[in-house]
Amino acid sequence: MDFLESKETLTTIEWILRGVVSFVFLLLVTKIMGQRSISQLRLLDFIIAMTLGNIIAHPLSDEQLGLKGSMITTIVLIVLYIAATWLSLKWPFFKHYLDPSPITLVKNGVIQFQNLSKARISIEFLFSEIRKEKVEDIQKVSLAIWEPGGTISVFTDTQYQPVTPADLKLATQPFVLSRPIIIDGKVDLSVLQELGKDLLWLNTKIEPAKMKIRDVILATVNDNENVKVYSGLEKEKVKNSK
Domains of the chain by residue range: 2-95, 103-160, 178-241
Fold of 103-160: CRO Repressor (3.30.240)
pLDDT grade for 30, boundaries at 50, 70 and 90: low
Pairwise CA distance, residues 118 & 57, whole Å: 35
Can you give the pLDDT at residue 101? 83
What average pLDDT does the structure give for the chain?
78
pLDDT at 124: 92
Same CATH fold assignment for domains 103-160 and 178-241 = yes
pLDDT(46) > 90: no
The per-residue pLDDT for range 170-214, each reduced to its tens digit, is 988 888 889 999 998 899 999 999 989 999 999 888 888 788 888
pLDDT at 127: 93
- Distance (Å, rounded) from C-alpha 66 to C-alpha 70? 7
Hey, which CATH number is domain 178-241, 3.30.240.20, 3.40.1710.10, 3.20.20.10, 3.40.50.720?
3.30.240.20
Residues 6+ apart with CB under 8 A from 100: 148
Answer with the residue of higher pLDDT: 150 or 212: 212
β-strand 218-222 against 178-183: which pairing, if any?
antiparallel
Would you state the pLDDT for residue 147? 84
State how far the Cα of 184 lies from the Cα of 201, in Å rounded to an integer. Answer: 19
Q: What is the pLDDT of residue 107?
A: 94
> What percent of the chain clears pLDDT 90, i.e. is strictly above it?
23
> Rounded mean pLDDT of 121-144?
92
- Confidence class for position 236, pLDDT limits 50, 70, 90: very low
Looking at the chain, how many residues does it have?
242
Strand order through the sheet with 178-183: 186-187, 178-183, 218-222, 227-230
If one compares 225 and 46, the residue with the highest pLDDT of the two is 225
Q: What's the CA angle centered on 224, arms 220 and 225, to 5 degrees? A: 50
Residues 6+ apart with CB under 8 A from 150: 40, 41, 42
138 and 130 in contact (C-beta within 8 Å)?
Answer: yes
**pLDDT given for residue 138 in this prediction:** 92
Per-residue confidence (pLDDT) for residue 237, from 0 to 100: 39
pTM for the model stands at: 0.55
